[in-house]
Amino acid sequence: MCGITGYIGFRDAYPIVINGLKRLEYRGYDSAGIMMYDGKKIQLTKTKGKVADLEVITNKEEKRKKGNIGMGHTRWATHGVPNDVNSHPHFSQSGDLVIVHNGIIENYDTLRKELISRGYSFHSDTDTEVLINLIEEVKRQEGCKLGKAVQLALKNVIGAYAIAVFDKTKPNEIVVARLGSPIAIGVGKDNTEFFVASDASPFIEYTKDAIYLEDEEMAIIKLGKGVKVRKINDDSIVDANIQKLMMNLEQIEKGGYDHFMLKEIHEQPKAIIDTYRGRMLADEGIIKMSGVDDNINKFLNAERIIIIACGTSWHAGLVGEYLLEDMARIPVEVEYASEFRYRNPIITPKDVVIAISQSGETADTLAAIKLAKSKGAFVFGVCNVVGSSIARETHAGAYTHAGPEIGVASTKAFTTQITVLTLISLKLAKAKGTLSDSAFRMYLQKMQLIPAKIEALLKIDEKVKEIAAVYKDAKNCLYLGRGFNFPVALEGALKLKEISYIHAEGYPAAEMKHGPIALIDENMPIFVIATNKGHYEKVVSNIQEIKSRAGKIIAIVTEGDTQVKEIADHVIEIPETEEALTPLLTTIPFQLLSYHIAVMLGKNVDQPRNLAKSVTVE
């Protein structure tokens, strides 16, 4: 949510900052702005709308693009409606200080009233303008430098933030700080240039060296002198840990696809291989996961496992519940992190908590992790971004190795999360003896075949497109599944809602009679997962109930199915596999279907309205 870019150095800052904003568009936003400093004057350009709209304005006047120092921002509105005035960056009252800010200042109203009593006036409705004027007031009152003013001001702030602040009276430095929202600093050769961004994607072609601030840390970035990192609360010096970036430019470009989402759907076979590579040795009958191996007794002695997550990750967690209980026979509860943290849950040191997040920065999940740790639980993280907050906050964990996921609607993150949860479940089942050696080896062999089966499944794209054309104008849809595929029904409905804005609901198929059946008529498409394992006959009965009420049935079936074909309006076949592994296959047609419907409706597939890739505020 929101994106920050910044540059200070010897290059023209404008192309770096503006291209950085484009790479952060996946985070979700409703307005954009840029600040340029040419050595004499600050040029501020802001607008409601997209980065492309911002470029139209800056291209009209070259002076708006000049300078070796710049900061940019994409805003996702929290305080004040999306408009030009509320867009970032924001000036202080004197015009000397400029800020870009991600997050929410919860006590902004109290601070605003205090500043008004001291003679400050405000042009926007934002909490950010309050913060920059608070910094200016502290700087004036204390007679201190910018870095100290930022530090003292933040001690009076309640909320979450990632900020970058520039002072034109000290034009050789930028001050950044973090609490709750991520911020990365790119370090150029010999400290001759520096980059600031919400993640490393805006500067990966310029440097592979990055510093990730931790919560309650700030950094003074000074040309020629490097980066000084301090704790905000006690002013203690922090050793700035420079990490080598593994990301490359090719990974965050579309690579010939029309949209990132389509690219990422097609990347799933490779992403799954990358996730189990080095961990699953099928021919040897071994699963090696250091995060589990090093803490095996924590898992084996756990009285229960609690999975916490949000959105798509929560759906992956539900699949994990079926896997862990079925294979390892450990009781599992799956919780929305946003509810878990506020409902006074019962947590004990005998619990293992698995936290799942694509970005590793989800605010509610991070807060739930901290709560679980405070109660003595062992916390295991599953995330995609190396060095992210969740990776650092948990006791141990496993990366999904999906590669950068740019499309807001998650696809390969979902299947790689399920892959990790499958490996954990199999490993614990083997260690507990709840799965025979022959069954364990069988699962490894079948798991190894999944990427090739997804490759084959992706070839039905044209057929899915034809089905999408039939139902693109539907106003409501139902998704039904049972057992391991109930969470896939939820995920399928979420994908359709996210990018096409069609109302859709997922249900356990047996629950249809407890309410949703009242909605079924000739205008209602119902997407049913009816694979030949598990509860096949029960699902067939559900399909017949739908058919008798004139509902339109689109069924996902196993190759060779004949029974469902006779009664469904459309069928999509998936390759045969074990029931526990079917979610990795059944989700693919739903991803393609949502994609094609959204494209046909002219929606912005990669940046759906009102949504952000990484939800870093409550």
- Cα separation, 138 vs 118, whole angstroms: 12
- Cα separation, 298 vs 304, whole angstroms: 11
Give the residue ranges of DSSP H helices in 5-104.
Answer: 13-23, 51-58
Choice among 2, 310, 383, 477 that is catalytic: 2
- Cα separation, 369 vs 432, whole angstroms: 26
477 as an active site residue: the answer is: no
Q: In whole angstroms, how far apart are CA 568 and each of 424, 525, 531, 564?
A: 36, 11, 13, 6
Is there a cis peptide before residue 404, judged by omega within 30 degrees of 0?
no
- Cα separation, 156 vs 356, whole angstroms: 32
Chain centroid, CA 321 distance in Å: 21
Cβ-count burial 245-259 (b if 16+ within 10 Å, e if not): bebeeeebeeeeeeb
Contact (Cβ atoms closer than 8 angstroms) between residue 440 and residue 429: yes
- Cα separation, 369 vs 165, whole angstroms: 30
Neighbour-count burial of 11, counting CB atoms closer than 10 A to its CB (0-12 exposed, 13-18 middle, 19+ buried):
middle
310 as an active site residue: the answer is: no
- Cα separation, 229 vs 175, whole angstroms: 10
Half-sphere exposure for 502 (CA within 13 Å, toward CB):
30
Chain centroid, CA 78 distance in Å: 18
Catalytic residues: 2, 613
